[in-house]
Amino acid sequence: MNKTYRTDIDGLRAIAIIPVILFHLGYLSNGYLGVDIFFVISGYLITGLVFNEVEENKFSVLKFYERRIRRIIPLVLFTTLIAFILGLIFMLPDDLENLCQSVFASNFSANNILMKITSADYWAVKNDYKPLMHTWSLGIEEQFYLLYPVIFFFLKGAKKKFILPLLIFLTILSLTAFFKSTNISSKFYFLQYRFFELSIGGICAIYFSKRNPFINTSKSQYILYFLLIALVFLLFFNSIRGNDIKILTTTILTAGILVLGGLHFENNSLYRALISNKVFTGIGKISFSLYMWHQIVFAFSRYFLVDEITLIYAIALSIIVLVLSIITYFTIENPFRNRSKIKTKPLLIIVSFSFLIITSASLYVYMVGGNIKNVPELGINKSNRPSQLNFFSSQSNINIQYNEDIRALDKPFSDNKQGIGIKSDKVKVLVLGNSFGRDVANVLLESSFKDTIEVRYSDLASKSDDELKSRIKNADFIFFGSNYPTKELIAKYNIDMNKVWIIGTKDFGNSNGIHYNRKIENYSNYRTSMKTGVLENNLHLKKEWGEKYIDLIGLIDDSEGKVLVFSPDGKFLSQDTVHFTKYGAMFFARLLDSKFRDIMKLT
């Protein structure tokens, strides 16, 4: 393998990072594939370096980990610290809590796992507002680095001949799992499905280090040009359907460029002009800083600065990212990589202390649900901050407790407990649905007629057929929230449509952050645009269910399709833009009071 520094790989890094940045600005739909280029480059460089050390009997697992720590951890810790501080200043509790989860997970190289659990759809709009969502790829790389050197440790000396066959075998396993799995989010976020991208780079580094089947002929340079053009075309044009094929194609093209580029990067003037020019190599050198900074800057800009990143904002923010990246490249990346500037012991002390402080602080803020300051818009102040703590439980989270409390109503009606009980004169109301169904139940419980009704809640996914049929039979009225009934469902449970009502969908925009950080004078007139497709879906449901449909959006939208964000007294209707706060439930209870009374014939 050529040990001369390859400037063309810096150029390839630039080709990778530019589309990623454009993707997160919303301008390039295939730009996320730049991450796949980085995976292949990493596998190629790391494997080449380690394999050379194995051949020279110089490989050390500890030195390998030290190099990875120097290369990655200082910048990760610094950028997660900056994101954490900005979150403390600008974010609402629910968003701050989510950020602190990401800080914690990123520092433990596990944000890909967290993203799989909390944001399975990488392309979802909500991810645009997550400052550390991009560290999922670092999670994959660092998990790879944690396991990868074990192969070389056990296959040293005479056993090194087994390294390449083992890598090929593991690559085939990973590729097979990648194409056979139907779980899109797992394939995107988990190492076992991404291993082949890194290992293909590694296979190329080993196989072509002493073999040159193409030889340095004029023909191979044309293949190299073709691969380069094809890669750029793939990134900038949506020419291939299917994410799996896009990822595999990107991997193969990148691997080919790395192999053939090694033959031509020194002597081929056209190739050098295309990929080793000063601009590309300069961008490539700071690509790690660019990667770490860009999403932090873009997400916080969306959160507290601008509703939409227009072209002018995109240029301005990109310049900010560039300046920050240059600064951290020279003040953090370079010094920590240089053993002569920062020795191993000071490195470990600095990294360990920083890790402990940042991770502990983020864990604490997560555990208190981000409730560290007064937020009048949510009715939060020093005297009423929740005393409970979060501890990685999806159903005991502080900020969703109001919604989760409805699960206590997941029980039979009071006069139907196996035939035992006092006969109730209250109107029996059954709410069916998921978390949106629990929102409906909260609206009913905040109503003026709450003492005249008995509310029960059931999640269709968690009840036996017999239990659901019993509750449906005994209910006077049934309200569906989110889990809208189908003809098959109605027939299955023999539901009387005369007592069924459909509670409409709802949405309060992309993020509350931009509203929270503005000085709003008239809450009653302040509105925001809904997420793309929500209004169309609402119209479709209205048409489908007709008079049985209770339109929530129609109660708060205007002629432009924008909806209210606050109650008249300045309280958020939703803490996460999709579920009700207590104030939101109270507000809609007032708006729906006469409608519900008419439906249930209440006086």
Q: What's the pLDDT tens digit per position in 448-468?
A: 999 999 999 998 777 778 888
Contact 124, 531 (CB under 8 A): no
Higher pLDDT, 216 or 271: 271
Q: Which residues pair with 576 in a beta bridge?
A: none
Residue 418 has pLDDT above 50, yes or no: no
Closest C-alpha to 474, from 550, 556, 408, 414 = 414
Instruction: Tell me whether residue 102 is in a domain.
Output: yes
Regarding whether 361 and 431 lie in a shared domain, the answer is: no
Q: How far is CA 193 from CA 144, 183, 243, 385, in A?
A: 12, 11, 13, 43
Average of per-residue pLDDT across 124-139: 90
Higher pLDDT, 126 or 47: 47
Residue 320 has pLDDT above 70, yes or no: yes
Token pair for residue 514? 């931009």
Q: What is the mean pLDDT of the chain?
A: 91
Instruction: Tell me whether residue 30 is in a domain.
Output: yes
Regarding whether 307 and 184 lie in a shared domain, the answer is: yes
Average of per-residue pLDDT across 124-138: 90
Residue 483 has pLDDT above 80, yes or no: no
Per-residue model confidence (pLDDT) at position 1? 45
Per-residue model confidence (pLDDT) at position 391? 74
Regarding whether 357 and 236 lie in a shared domain, the answer is: yes
- Portion of the chain with pLDDT greater than 90, in percent: 80
| Least confidently predicted of 41-50, 131-140, 319-328, 384-393 | 384-393
Residue 207 has pLDDT above 80, yes or no: yes
Q: What is the CB-side half-sphere exposure of residue 150 using CA atoms within 13 A? A: 6
Per-residue model confidence (pLDDT) at position 49? 93
Last residue of a domain, one of 367, 396, 425: 367
Per-residue model confidence (pLDDT) at position 208? 86
pLDDT tens-digit profile of 242-252? 899 999 999 99
- Long-range contacts of 541-548, Cβ-Cβ distance < 8 Å, separation of 24 or more: 541/484, 541/502, 541/504, 541/505, 542/504, 545/484, 545/502, 548/497, 548/500, 548/501, 548/502
| Least confidently predicted of 116-120, 345-349, 437-441, 522-526 | 116-120
The band of 419, judged by pLDDT with boundaries at 50, 70 and 90, is very low
Regarding whether 441 and 339 lie in a shared domain, the answer is: no
Regarding whether 461 and 326 lie in a shared domain, the answer is: no
The amino acid sitting at 234 is L
Regarding whether 477 and 334 lie in a shared domain, the answer is: no
Per-residue model confidence (pLDDT) at position 395? 57
Per-residue model confidence (pLDDT) at position 504? 95
Per-residue model confidence (pLDDT) at position 119? 75
The band of 122, judged by pLDDT with boundaries at 50, 70 and 90, is low
Higher pLDDT, 369 or 460: 369
Last residue of a domain, one of 367, 400, 426: 367
pLDDT tens-digit profile of 324-367? 999 999 999 999 999 999 999 999 999 999 999 999 999 999 99
Instruction: Tell me whether residue 452 is in a domain.
Output: yes
Query: If DSSP codes are grouped into helix, strand and coil, which group holds residue 516?
Result: helix
The band of 394, judged by pLDDT with boundaries at 50, 70 and 90, is low
The amino acid sitting at 96 is L
The amino acid sitting at 91 is M
Instruction: Tell me whether residue 545 is in a domain.
Output: yes
Regarding whether 594 and 530 lie in a shared domain, the answer is: yes
Contact 367, 390 (CB under 8 A): yes
Containing structural domain, residue 455: 410-600
Phi and psi at 110, nearest 5°, equal: -135, 20
Regarding whether 308 and 188 lie in a shared domain, the answer is: yes
Q: Which residues are within 8 A (CB) of 448 and not within 5 positions of it... i.e. 6 or more apart? A: 589, 593
Instruction: Tell me whether residue 62 is in a domain.
Output: yes
Residue 2 has pLDDT above 50, yes or no: no
Per-residue model confidence (pLDDT) at position 416? 55
H or E stretch including 486? none
Residue 420 has pLDDT above 70, yes or no: no
3-state SS, 337-393, equals: HCCCCCCHHHHHHHHHHHHHHHHHHHHHHHHCCCCCCCEHHHCECCCCCCCCCCCCC
Instruction: Tell me whether residue 397 is in a domain.
Output: no
Instruction: Tell me whether residue 569 is in a domain.
Output: yes
The band of 240, judged by pLDDT with boundaries at 50, 70 and 90, is confident
Q: Which of 147-161, 213-227, 573-587 has the highest mean pLDDT?
A: 573-587
The enclosing domain of 518 has a CATH number of: 3.40.50
Average of per-residue pLDDT across 19-46: 96
Average of per-residue pLDDT across 19-34: 95
pLDDT tens-digit profile of 143-154? 999 999 999 999
Last residue of a domain, one of 316, 343, 367: 367
Average of per-residue pLDDT across 99-115: 95
What's the total number of domains in the chain? Answer: 2
Regarding whether 414 and 363 lie in a shared domain, the answer is: no
Q: Which residues are within 8 A (CB) of 143 and not within 5 positions of it... i.e. 6 or more apart? A: 109, 110, 112, 191
Average of per-residue pLDDT across 66-93: 97
Residue 396 has pLDDT above 60, yes or no: yes
Distance separating alpha carbons of residues 456 and 426, to the nearest angstrom: 12
Regarding whether 300 and 442 lie in a shared domain, the answer is: no
| Chain centroid, CA 290 distance in Å | 19
| Chain centroid, CA 525 distance in Å | 32
Regarding whether 458 and 313 lie in a shared domain, the answer is: no
Predicted TM-score (pTM) of the model is 0.91
Average of per-residue pLDDT across 474-500: 89
Residue 123 has pLDDT above 70, yes or no: no
Contact 14, 277 (CB under 8 A): no
